[in-house]
Structures are given as C-alpha cells and as structure tokens.
A and B are shown apart, each in its own frame.
Chain A
Amino acid sequence: GESVGLHLPTLSVQEGDNSIINCAYSNSASDYFIWYKQESGKGPQFIIDIRSNMDKRQGQRVTVLLNKTVKHLSLQIAATQPGDSAVYFCAENPPNDYKLSFGAGTTVTVRA
C-alpha cells in the first residue's frame, strides 16, 4: 500500500472557517514533510514544509503540525477562502532518498 495516506478524502468548509487536513505517514525514518496544493488542471504547488526536528511551522494563513509519536501530519488553513478550493497532498521523504512519497490527496471545497 501507499506509505502516506489521508484520513478524509473530501472536506467541505464554510468560507471564513478554519480547515484542518490530516495525513498519516508510515515511514518512521522520514524526516522531511511537504504539503502541496493542486488546483484543477494545474500542477502541484508547494505550500509549506516541516522537518522532523520541529512540531509546528507557520506560514501565511497555514500551519503544519507534526506528531512523530503517532506519525501524523496536519495542515491548518485559517479563514478559508474560495481560492483555497483544491486538492491537498502531503508527501514524506526519508534521509538520503531522492524521492517523495505522496498520499492520495484531500479535496477541499469552500462553500460561500
């Protein structure tokens, strides 16, 4: 099976609310994690990354949380906007590996 998976395949959010997207990873050796956003008809775009020596990292309106104990990653989007509607992928990378392992993705739909 896939080494990285998501708990919920779809998420519907009211505009202005906060969104939380979850991700489980299976490789305990992974020390680098990325969240990507993919809008319809486009390639994935980098949102934020986090290394295993951190528990939390904040960007502009986004926060990534990492729980290594349970191998869980989450992406929080504050004040969700219509432009946040997309598929969100998490990816993991162990040391000395040239490849990222992607999860199946969560589709986020923002309701006006």
Chain B
Amino acid sequence: NAGVTQTPKFHILKIGQSMTLQCTQDMNHNYMYWYRQDPGMGLKLIYYSVGAGITDKGEVPNGYNVSRSTTEDFPLRLELAAPSQTSVYFCASSSHGASGGAKREQYFGPGTRLTVT
C-alpha cells in the first residue's frame, strides 16, 4: 500500500510551457485534492474531486485544470506556466469528505516542487 504518490518530485518549467503533475492513490478513496504551498505559507486548495468524473474549483484554480477519469488518478495540468506558479504542489485523498462519524482525514503525497523561470 503506497498511499498517495506524486510525480515528478522536482521540475523546472519555462514560462509559457505546459505540464501535467501526476497523482495516484491506491486506497480506493473517492475524494482527492490538489493544494499549492508557497514558501512559509499554508496550503491553498486548487481543485478537488468527489469521485470519478466530478471535479470542482478550490480557492486558487486560475491557470490550472484537472480531470478525474478513474478513482485512482487525479492529474493537475498547468497551461502557459507563469512564475507565480512556482510552488510546491501536494495531492491528497480522503475516504470521507463530509460529516458523520467517519474520519475526514486527508492523506498527503510527498509533493512536487515546481519552478517556473
């Protein structure tokens, strides 16, 4: 059980280029999330998904796109990269996204450190 895996670990992108950050979880979680973390700051939600085929915007979605064709995978696409997208990107998953007695803990991947120059 690998949990949440992310690739690549590091990447340098030129301004205007595009790339896809990969995220896979093997816990059969319905809920998946993408966050970005700027230096010395907290986590900001980019996009999230409550199941295959369903995605929704978080607080900072501009410049990003996502898709969720399977339960396991939730790739994040950066189009026309800008220096402001230099950040560490974390993917997370959860088995229960809402209320009730079940845990709502999110499990995080190791992150992708992206530099746009």
Contacts and interface: CB of A to CB of B under 8 A. Distances in A.
Pair from one complex: yes
A98 B47 CA distance: 11
Chain A interface helix/strand/loop/mixed: loop
B7 to A, nearest CB: 14
A2 B43 CA distance: 11
Contact of A102 (B4, B43, B109, B110): B43
Given A34-B105, A99-B48, A100-B106, A44 B98 contact: no
A43 B41 contact: no
Interface residues of A, number: 24
Interface in A82-112: 89, 93, 95-100, 102-105
Interface string B29-56: 0010100000001110100101000000
Nearest to A48: B105
Given A43-B90, A46-B107, A98 B42 contact: no
A100 B42 contact: no
Interface in A43-86: 43-46, 49
Interface of B: 4, 31, 33, 41-43, 45, 48, 50, 58, 90, 92, 97-99, 103-111
16 contacts: A2-B42, A34-B104, A43-B90, A43-B92, A43-B108, A43-B109, A43-B110, A44-B43, A45-B108, A46-B107, A95-B98, A98-B31, A99-B33, A99-B97, A103-B42, A105-B42
Interface of A: 2, 31-32, 34, 36, 41-46, 49, 89, 93, 95-100, 102-105
